[in-house]
Amino acid sequence: MGTKKYAVIGHPIGHTMSPFIHNRLFALSGIDAEYTKLDITPENLNNEYNAVLSKLDGYNITIPHKQNIIPLIDKIDSKAKMYGSVNTVSNNCGISTGYTTDPDGFLKALAAAGIMLDGKIVILGCGGVARTMAYEIVLKKFPLLFAVRKEDIHIAENLCNEIKNTVSGADVKYCLITELQGDIDLLVNATPIGMFPKSENQPVTDSVIKKCANVFDAVYNPLETLLIQKAKANGANAAGGMSMLVWQAVVAHEHWDGSIYDTADITKLCVDAGNELKRNF
């Protein structure tokens, strides 16, 4: 059979956790594989697809290729089609299939942290990450509230309308972050606020954090944002973005080779990935 070949593509690719995470996952599953990173500019994507990518067993895609890869591959699954985005491709028997693993990565990260989708759910922000999370929540028939900055009100309004037009019966609203009040069962930060190097920032006030039973922060650098630290100090169940990063990689392996992993192994990998992150920043 020989060593299987995988990679992550993007531009600029810079420091990425993908090789560390995926090589560990291959080791856990006992599969002989190599995983590297490839810096591919947008203007070279077509050429590199034919020369390199089509010859790999599979690969992951990050910015700016998640949409531009779609016309080049043979087919995409239904979830990737709904999101209009592909971050994982499997090459099998000459057929390339695209998937998006971020949505399932989000749900698996919540489950691993013991966080239930229930009650009053608030997403901070209305960008691409927020959109992915929002669809998964409303598809499961839970009401959702976006809390955004004043300058993003029109974006939030358009996103709410899109979701309502796409998902029948979706209960989705928006408000200003400054208008948040009352108890919150799950607060999800889908903004970059609190990310390194501006780790001293937090997306909501202390008074809001104190009313949250569960908190999930998509930011993974630092491993524990100020939001996560304060939520835990208040007794809330809280988890950071590293778990989502690792679990979406797990979903990629499910598509590539059907691997099944022990939750304890993935929990340890999240910790190890966090330590690797610290060593590189």
pLDDT at 195: 93
How many CA atoms are closer than 13 Å to the CA of 154, on its beta-carbon side? Answer: 1
Which residues carry out catalysis? 66
**Run of H or E including 112:** helix 102-112
Tell me the one-letter amino acid at 150: K
Q: How far is residue 67's CA from residue 87's CA, in Å, rounded to a whole number?
A: 9
Amino acid at 169: G
CA distance 56 to 247: 22
Mean pLDDT by 10 residues, the chain (281 residues): 93 92 97 97 96 97 95 96 94 96 95 94 95 96 97 98 96 97 97 93 97 97 95 96 96 97 95 90 65
Q: What is the pLDDT of residue 67?
A: 95
Q: Which pLDDT score, from 0 to 100, does residue 1 have?
A: 63
* 271-276, long-range: CB < 8 A, 24+ apart: 272/24, 273/17, 273/20, 273/21, 273/24, 273/242, 273/245, 273/246, 274/223, 274/242, 276/17, 276/20
- Rg of the chain's alpha carbons, rounded to an integer? 19
161: closest CA among 153, 80, 100, 185? 153
Q: Is the dihedral of CA 191, 196, 201, 202 positive or negative?
A: positive
Q: Look up the pTM and report it.
A: 0.92
**126 token code pair:** 């209305």
Strands 58-61 and 4-10: parallel
